[in-house]
Structure 1
Amino acid sequence: MPMWLYPLVGLTSVVVGLLPWLRTGPRLPLQNLWASETSPEQMPLALLPLNQYHLVQLLGMLMTAGLIAGVIARLEPRDRRRRSTGLTALGVLAGMLAAGIQSGLVLAAGLEERSLATVYLAGVLTWATLSALGAVFVLGLIGRGRRGAAAIAVAFAAAPVAAWARMLLLPEPAAATPAVIDVVGSLRWLPAVLVGVALAWCGIRLSAKIAAWVLSLVLLWVMPALLTTIGYAADYRADVGERVGAGLDVLAAAMAPGIAGPPVLVALAIGAAGATAAAVVRWWRRRRT
């Protein structure tokens, strides 16, 4: 692919990442600190759902953009990946910056003029910035990193990608059919499948790759629980102390072996089976030559 196309690849990846939000009619979510009484249909258009109740969805959309962009950038031969990744990152950053500025200005214009609203605005924008930086980090590791590093990046992004898929398939939970709800429920296994495929592609022949396996499986154990905790804490209407305590309880429950363990075992099985099959194919090819 010509190098000049990669910034467009980055921009397109951002659009794909934002697709679950754009298809709903991207109006800014209702805000607790909005200056005036407004119905959902009267809220201004915003390219990002800047709201404390949409933190996980926002992370998922930006992380998905980074993962898609990184995979496409890595398709280049090894000696061209540095340029393809850098140019793709420029497109991703441009798209995310434009969306963030537009949404931030819209949010700032409508909030109440008091210190609590300023703190809220700063917090939401900080989360959006960290999410964008995480997406670029994932893009870089997948695009030009070694296989072990790329597998770790996939594990880091897997749970947010599942959140993106849930938002895409279930934009309005109240209107969902039972079949859609069943499909969305099965997305619990999507991070395990993504990590398992990444580990199978990574292989396990070197000590560095073994470390990548361990870290990837740890991330698969921790990240879904962490996102569950963030979503719960953001929705929990209580003082900070109670919110932190409730969040820690949810984190402990979500990381329990009976909850977090099965996806890790599935990923391990997929990775081991895939890596073994790849090793057998390589051995067979060497034998024939």
Structure 2
Amino acid sequence: MPADMPWSMLPLSQYYPDVVIGLLVSGGLAAGLLVRWRPGPGIRRGAGFGLLLTQSVAACQAFSVLVPGQRPGLLAAAYVAGLVATCLLGIALAQLVLRWTADGPAWLAAMGVSLAAAPVATWLGTWLQLTFGEVSVPAPLWTVLAWVPALLTGVALAWCGWGGRGRSAAWGIGLLLLWLQPALLTGVRMAVARNTVSQGAASMVETFLRATATELATPWPAAAHVALAAGIGLVGGLTVRILGRRGSRAAQPVELR
């Protein structure tokens, strides 16, 4: 029975590597934005250490549940190694997102949000399934969720603005990540599947590359997501710039004649 199964802090499974990455990266984004909102001396370093400690403990606890249930052998070792690599990747990305969004310039923070956009959407999808049930999630919510990475990236680019090398890099990297990340997450999910792991590391790499290439070869909906994010960034950035100019003019002292 499900109630009798051991409790785990992370959903370690060959079916959920993208969910694990999404959960870990979402924590990094939340911590980074919180630190940026409430800055202070040593806050970012403390948040980074706390996040690393929390996620490491969660991963160790999850593996303490997973490993005893595996049959000894090469297949089990490869399976666990693939999940360890998944967790390490997620923890590293979470630290990178936190560092970029916490106290860097706006263009670097925008890159951090763009890096986290697709993993956050993956985790939100899992949360919806846990809330409504796997087959009971309303269709409109799935439709909205599919566009969450583009919305997050577009808002981040609007906040970043344009002009200068840093902002140009944020735009280029942000839109490139929006195009690549869904395909990369699909590749990871396919590569760590048990039937792939059983065929060895070479098969895992081949499966990852093939699945990623297949996803990238399909222009829709990736191109639409990139177009939406770019549109939001342009319109939002222009709006912020206009409002900023009006605010600066209103703040200027009026000369009396």
Q: TM-score, normalised by structure 1?
A: 0.78
Of residues 215, 222, 230, the one that matches 1:254 is 215
Name the Cα RMSD after superposition: 2.3
**Residue in 1 that maps onto 2:100:** 141
Separation of aligned partners in 1, 2:24 and 2:154: 22
Compared CA separation, residues 99 and 245, structure 1 to 2 (3 A): closer
**1:133 match: secondary structure:** helix
Identity percentage of aligned residues: 33
Of residues 74, 86, 103, the one that matches 2:36 is 74
Question: Pairwise mapping of residues 68-217 of structure 1 onto structure 2 (< 5 A)?
Answer: 68-77=30-39, 80=40, 83-171=42-130, 175-177=134-136, 180-217=138-175
Compared CA separation, residues 237 and 114, structure 1 to 2 (3 A): closer
Compared CA separation, residues 182 and 228, structure 1 to 2 (3 A): farther
Shift of 1:243: 6.0
Q: Which moved more, 1:153-162 or 1:248-257?
A: 248-257
Greater RCO (CA < 8 Å, at least 6 residues apart)? 2
Separation of aligned partners in 2, 1:126 and 1:246: 16
**Residue in 2 that maps onto 1:272:** 234
**2:11 match: secondary structure:** coil
Letter in 2 for 1:99: A
Q: Which moved more, 1:231-240 or 1:64-73?
A: 231-240
Residues 187-245 of structure 1: CA distance to partner in whole angstroms, max 9, x if unpaired? 11000000000011111132221121111101111001111222234448354566655
Separation of aligned partners in 2, 1:133 and 1:244: 20
**Residue in 1 that maps onto 2:6:** 44
Between the two proteins, the alignment pairs up a number of residues equal to 247
Would the aligned equivalents of 1:108 and 1:121 in 2 still touch at CA under 8 Å?
yes
Shift of 1:280: 0.4
Structure 2: 5+ residue stretches without partners: 253-257
Residues 145-189 of structure 1: CA distance to partner in whole angstroms, max 9, x if unpaired? 221111111111100000001000013887533x62331232110
Separation of aligned partners in 1, 2:85 and 2:134: 32
Q: Does 1:55 align with 2:17?
A: yes
Would the aligned equivalents of 2:191 and 2:204 in 1 still touch at CA under 8 Å?
yes
Compared CA separation, residues 127 and 76, structure 1 to 2 (3 A): same
Letter in 2 for 1:192: A
**Residue in 1 that maps onto 2:255:** none
Letter in 1 for 2:145: L
Would the aligned equivalents of 2:79 and 2:192 in 1 still touch at CA under 8 Å?
no
**2:126 match: secondary structure:** helix
Q: TM-score, normalised by structure 2?
A: 0.87
Separation of aligned partners in 2, 1:120 and 1:253: 24
Compared CA separation, residues 114 and 53, structure 1 to 2 (3 A): same
Separation of aligned partners in 2, 1:249 and 1:183: 30
**1:46 match: secondary structure:** coil
**2:162 match: secondary structure:** coil
**1:258 match: secondary structure:** coil
Would the aligned equivalents of 1:254 and 1:260 in 2 still touch at CA under 8 Å?
no
